[in-house]
Amino acid sequence: MDEYISKEAAVRYLKGFSEKELNWNRNFGMITSSVLDKAERAISEMPAADVQPVKHGRWILCDDGYVRCSECNRKAFIENDETILTDFCHGCGADMIMDGGSDE
């Protein structure tokens, strides 16, 4: 599974290396300021991924007997008169919390 970070965060992280660390490591063939500059430039030029923040929701049992998404109010999938609770909402794509745990 891919994990995504912002390009700006990656560049900020690289810029956090101090000149003292860079000079100390140069003797051992490690990272140098010119390598960092190239890495920063490469990250800035990379195409951005098309990602969205993950929404979290819960299946809620309503008074009408249906189970609905807490985010978009869509009914859960029903097959052969049986409610099927999936781990995501087919309406809004929210990741459904199935174990009663926190969504944080």
**pLDDT tens sequence across 36-71:** 788 888 988 988 888 877 889 999 999 988 999 999
Q: Are residues 33 and 64 in the same domain?
A: no
In a domain, 2, yes or no: no
In a domain, 87, yes or no: yes
Question: Across-strand partners of 66?
Answer: none
More confident residue, 19 or 69: 69
Pairing between strand 82-84 and 77-79?
A: antiparallel
**Domain count along the chain:** 2
User: How large is the angle between the packed helices 33-45 and 7-15, nearest 10 degrees?
Assistant: 170
In a domain, 1, yes or no: no
Find where tokens 């490690």 sit.
30
pTM of the model: 0.48
In a domain, 104, yes or no: no
